[in-house]
Structure 1
Amino acid sequence: MLRNIDPLLSPSLLHALRAMGHGDEIVIADANFPGTSTGPECIRADGSTASEVLRAVLSVMPLDTFVTDPALTMQVVGDPDAIPEAVADFQDIIDATADNPAKVQGLERFAFYERAATAFAIVQTGERRLYGNIILKKGVIG
């Protein structure tokens, strides 16, 4: 155990977050997301929700301030303006936890999958709410 480190941050996840550089992206995905087959390393966090993992990740990782979209979610198929419960929760967590809060932006489903395929890593959670997926772009610690 480490002091002041959220216990949801497993050794594998801490390693990935530390190894990421400015501009690298990490996906926090729900239980339905094709985490293993998408491509990047898939870190399992089955006993946690995406919201819990998001809060833990933002406790140690800054969001990028050099882009307008450091937090991306998957748009609802057929209703891109809808805001699912999980996405509303993500925005509340970012507003309360991130050192540089940003407005969550949406990506079309297949564009989200393509973006996720280029991420540094995917954290597959046990999140059961639909559209409980978010991509975060790592920022710089000044």
Structure 2
Amino acid sequence: MLKGIPKIISPELLKYLCEMGHSDRLVIADGNFPTHSVGRNAHIIRMDGHGVCEILDAILKLFPLDTYDEHPVRIMEKVPGDTVETPIWDEFEKIVSQYDTRKGLIGGIERFQFYEEARKAYLIIATSEEALYGNIMLQKGVV
């Protein structure tokens, strides 16, 4: 056991977070995300039974966001014409703003471009999140 590490952060997840360098990306994926096909070249951690927001909150306690990128946090944009509500995006904004006070950190990426960017991620965390468009990508900064 270590002090100050959120209990939801497993030793395996802590290892990968520590291994990541500046500009490396991680994706916290909802339950519908094609984690294993998109993440063929990434480390994958399954965190079934947990939602994206609780994992995001725990990770941001430890994880510096990139200060050299205008949008070090990215979300998957809705497909044009899709009218589904996305209240999870408001939760993402609240959580991110607790750890980084810069404005406008969260940027959107078109759905298929998000998949392409996720293919380059160092780490993908698969969750049981049921919210649609509940995927978020973080780009690591420096301490």
The answer to whether the 8 Å contact 1:29/1:134 transfers is yes
The runs of 4+ residues in structure 1 deviating greater than 2 Å are 97-103
Q: 2:51 matched to 1:49? A: yes
1:13 equivalenced with 2:13 (yes/no): yes
SS of 1:48's partner is coil
SS of residue in 2 equivalent to 1:128: coil
One-letter amino acid of the structure 1 residue matched with residue 6 of structure 2: D
Say if 1:87 and 1:132, in contact at 8 Å, map to a contact too.
Answer: yes
SS in 2 for 1:93: helix
Spell out, residue by residue over 1:28-66, the C-alpha distance to the aligned partner (whole angstroms, 9 max, x if none).
000110111112121111121100010011000100000
Q: Which runs of 5+ in 2 are unaligned?
A: none
Structure 1: which 5+ runs fail to align?
A: none
Report if the CA contact (8 A) 1:17-1:61 is conserved.
yes
Alignment of 1:35-114 (within 5 A): 35-38=35-38, 39=40, 40-79=42-81, 84-98=86-100, 102-114=104-116
Cα distance between partner residues in 1 of 2:37 and 2:12: 18
TM-score of the pair, normalised by structure 2: 0.91
TM-score (normalised: structure 1): 0.92
Structure 1 position 97, deviation (Å): 2.5
Tell me how far 1:85 sits from its aligned partner.
1.1
> 2:125, 2:102 → 1: CA distance?
22
How well do the aligned residues superpose, as a CA RMSD in angstroms? 1.9
Change (3 A) 1:47 1:99: farther
- Is contact 1:59-1:98 (8 Å) kept? no
DSSP-derived class of the 1:72 partner: strand
